[in-house]
Structure 1
Amino acid sequence: MKTTVKWDGYLAFSGITPSGHKIAMDASEEAGGALTRGKAHKMLLHAVAGVPGLILF
């Protein structure tokens, strides 16, 4: 699988999955970001938590 991630300035990034879905990530204000998007580590946690659900159902 190949994905593309680009830097949008400061601590903001955006990605595009192979299926064309867009993902936007940012850091919290305390870390120097603007928190205008989801935090990358929380998105990763959601993805890891969602995989067993996809397998079981």
Structure 2
Amino acid sequence: MVFLLLGVLVLVLGGCVCVVWAERGGPRWVRIVAALTRGAGELVSSAQKSRSRNRSGDTDGD
């Protein structure tokens, strides 16, 4: 389990490095990885927003 979490951490940090490098005009593969990283971030953000909306809108049928 620890190795899985470390792997995810390495991927996240690598994605962040690629985003910064792409902003400074890195190679094409860096821009592709940066776009994928930004897209994954948007997906996570929208999932959290919809989850918080569903949680605040929940009502008990009692």
**Both proteins in one fold, TM over 0.5:** no
TM-score category by the smaller chain?
0.3 to 0.5
Q: RCO higher in 1 or 2 (8 Å CA, sep ≥ 6)?
A: 2
Higher helix share: 2
TM-score by length of 1: 0.37
Higher strand share: 1
TM-score by length of 2: 0.35
Structure 1 or 2, whichever has the larger Rg, is 2
